[in-house]
Homo-oligomer: A and B are copies of this chain.
Amino acid sequence: MTAIRWRSVLFAPANQPALVAKLSRSAPDVVVLDLEDAVPAPNKGEARAAAIDAIVTLGAPEGAPLVAVRVNSVRTSWFDDDVSAVVAAGVGAIVVPKLESIDDVRRLHAAVTAAGATTTRAPGATPLLVAGIETARGVADARTYLADGFAACYFGAEDYVADMGGERTSSNDEVRFARGYVALAARVCGVAALDIVTADIADAERFAREATEARALGYAGKLCIHPRQVALARDAFTPTEQQVDRARRVLAAWAEANARGVGAIAFEGQLIDEPMATRARAVLSSID
């Protein structure tokens, strides 16, 4: 089994067939059929039915992306039916928005277990779980619930700022604290972290800048809401040839120094020691 990559995670409203049909075309690592914020209340049932069909269609081809569904929050009346339907359809991952507490996570596990018990899916086919961290409490308490069975999490800046009663700006200053903390909490809990949506879909420069920042912070990928953003995310979270080349040279110089009993050397003006070697190895392993 290949390890899951989370570089580009493309969302589409599950009840918009034209957008769903195009989801795989940009070759994202993960596609997400959204039942939550992008679907108005009266259309939740219709969206769920469309998601069930799309799970099969999108996941069928060789080399298809991981197919995920964002269900409605555990605190809504749609939640149990959403989980039950998508587990039965064999969804690859369930994205759960606005998680806030260990109680929320317990409800999630209970729903997944209940759903699995009524399906004929093979053992081990349990979907991956992705936590949506996008409220004040969800951020503040992330460490208390994130270690409990999640493969990944995302930081949702729009909902977070709405919940804080703040204002979204292009500087992202208002989410700097939370964006830094979510990366840390995710790492401590052993969970891949996915960066914020760039709502201005025409601004490729902003998307690329945010993706570069996110990668530096330790994020593994970025949420995308338009196919054009997928290639930008893939590029930002994949090392460049130059980075790969530099990593190889760092490791060569370092191995050579080690053989001489030296563990810290100057390399192109920088001190190279164990942590730099660790990062160089991470660069090379990420392109395998």
Known contacts A140-B184, A158-B276, A164-B184; A271/B199 CB under 8 A? yes
Mask of A162-196 contacts with B, CB within 8 angstroms, 1/0: 11111111000110111011011101100000000
Q: Contacts of A136 on B, CB cut-off 8 Å?
A: 184, 187-188
Work out how many copies of this chain go into the complex: 3
Please tell me if A208 contacts chain B, counting CB pairs below 8 Å. Answer: no
Partner of A216, one of B174, B257, B263: B174
- Is the pair B180, A176 in contact by a Cβ cutoff of 8 Å? yes
- Is the pair B263, A40 in contact by a Cβ cutoff of 8 Å? yes
- Is the pair A140, B43 in contact by a Cβ cutoff of 8 Å? no
Please tell me if A161 contacts chain B, counting CB pairs below 8 Å. Answer: yes
Please tell me if A266 contacts chain B, counting CB pairs below 8 Å. Answer: yes
Please tell me if A38 contacts chain B, counting CB pairs below 8 Å. Answer: yes
Q: Contacts of A139 on B, CB cut-off 8 Å?
A: 184
- Is the pair A273, B38 in contact by a Cβ cutoff of 8 Å? yes
- Is the pair B13, A167 in contact by a Cβ cutoff of 8 Å? no
A-B contact list, 13 entries, CB within 8 Å: A34-B264, A37-B263, A37-B273, A39-B263, A42-B258, A139-B184, A162-B282, A164-B183, A164-B217, A168-B279, A199-B270, A201-B266, A225-B264
